[in-house]
Amino acid sequence: MRASRALTVALVVGAAVGFAAPAAVAGGPPGGGGGPTSVEVDPYAVHQGATLRITARGCHNGGRVSSNAFDEVHLSSGDVNYATARIHDSTTPGTYSLAVKCNDNDRVATRSFRVLEGRGADGGLGGAAGPTDTEMAVGGTLVGTAALGGALFIARRRRQGVGV
């Protein structure tokens, strides 16, 4: 009787595994193969000329990202896929869409983002711009005045007989 129960359990488990295997194969490899998913952009709102970071999942062999706001960029391979795109300086401000397509699949995932006018905050010139003629004239005058005042001070002290 114990043998018949064990045989029945073994047959039921074998049937369950046998029926589940074709369904698992039809779904493709775990975590991918079905095309791009979870497409994200950072930041959502980006200035003209700035860079946009795109993250996706499902393109294990890499892929491409395209939009009319930037040149086509390549998506990295792996479990999480990355790409960085530079927005054209001449892109008209507004809402745009990008399309992500894996190299090994025809499915396409889209995501929208916003392009803002201008180039954002200027981080400064960092010494790249030289002084103007006016700044040079003011600086030269200040240095000359300081030198003349120092010379008069020293001459006056000597005339009063105060030793240095």
How high does pLDDT run on average in the chain?
79
* Residue 47 within any structural domain of the chain: yes
- For residues 94 and 143, membership in a common domain is answered with no
Tokens 């396409």 sit at which residue? 108
* Residue 61 within any structural domain of the chain: yes
Find the CATH number of the domain harbouring 79: 2.60.40.1930
- For residues 98 and 148, membership in a common domain is answered with no
Question: Edge to edge, what strands does the sheet with 51-57 contain?
Answer: 37-42, 51-57, 80-86
- For residues 60 and 84, membership in a common domain is answered with yes
Structural domains in the chain (count)? 2
The span from the CA of 135 to the CA of 141, in Å, is 10
Report pLDDT for 128.
Answer: 58
Count of CB atoms situated within 10 Å of the CB of 11 = 10
* Residue 18 within any structural domain of the chain: no
The whole domain housing 142 covers 132-164
- For residues 101 and 149, membership in a common domain is answered with no
Instruction: Tell which residue, 113, 128, 107, has the closest CA to residue 83.
Output: 113
* Residue 25 within any structural domain of the chain: no
- For residues 85 and 141, membership in a common domain is answered with no
- For residues 63 and 89, membership in a common domain is answered with yes
Report pLDDT for 124.
Answer: 59
* Residue 23 within any structural domain of the chain: no
- For residues 59 and 84, membership in a common domain is answered with yes
The span from the CA of 102 to the CA of 57, in Å, is 10
- For residues 43 and 104, membership in a common domain is answered with yes
Q: Which tens digit of pLDDT belongs to each residue from 45-82?
A: 999 999 999 999 999 999 999 999 999 999 999 999 99
Print pLDDT tens along the chain (164 aa). Answer: 555 555 454 444 454 444 444 434 333 444 445 788 889 999 999 999 999 999 999 999 999 999 999 999 999 999 999 999 999 999 999 999 999 999 988 899 999 999 998 765 656 555 556 778 888 888 889 998 988 888 888 888 888 766 55
Report pLDDT for 164.
Answer: 54
- For residues 86 and 139, membership in a common domain is answered with no
Instruction: Tell which residue, 47, 36, 62, 37, has the closest CA to residue 113.
Output: 47
- For residues 43 and 101, membership in a common domain is answered with yes
* Residue 9 within any structural domain of the chain: no
* Residue 27 within any structural domain of the chain: no
Report pLDDT for 132.
Answer: 81
